[in-house]
Amino acid sequence: MNIYLVCNVGMSSSVLVKKMKEASKNKGLEAKIEAYSVEVLEKVKDEADVILVGPQIRHMSNEISKIVDGSCPVDIISMRDYGMINGKNVLEQALLLINK
C-alpha cells in the first residue's frame, strides 16, 4: 500500500510521515508512506493508492486532482491533525479512502 502526502516542497510533511509510519507499524501494516512536492506528483501518482494533500496547499486540490486524474483517491488532511502531527488519525483517513 502506497500512501503519499503532497505538500508545497515535500519537507513540511516529513515529521507527519514519520508518525504515520510508526502508527502503521503499530497496526502491523505494510505501507510505503512518503511526502512529495506537487512538482513531482506527475512522476509518482501511478504508484499511489491514496494521496493526501497538506492543508497549507488545499487551494491546489483541484490542480492535484487533475494531475491524479482519478487514478486514486485524493483528500485534504485536516488542519488539526496536520498541526498536531497526529499520524494515527491521518493514517486512518488514508485507510478509509483506500477501502472505500
* Residue-wise pLDDT tens digits, 13-48: 889 999 999 999 999 999 999 999 999 999 999 999
Q: What are 53-91's pLDDT values in tens digits?
A: 999 999 999 999 999 999 999 999 999 999 999 999 999
Range of the domain at 56: 2-98
DSSP 65-89: HHHHTTSS-EEEPPHHHHHTT-HHH
Q: List the CATH number of the domain containing 68.
A: 3.40.50.2300
Find the mean pLDDT for residues 3-7.
Answer: 95
Rounded to whole angstroms, the Cα distance separating 8 from 53 reads 9
With 0-12 CB in 10 A as exposed, 13-18 as middle and 19+ as buried, what is 26? exposed
Active-site residue, 7 included: yes
Rounded to whole angstroms, the Cα distance separating 79 from 45 reads 23
Residue with cell 512522476: 43
- The total of structural domains in the chain comes to 1
Active-site residue (options: 3, 7, 20, 57): 7
pTM here? 0.93
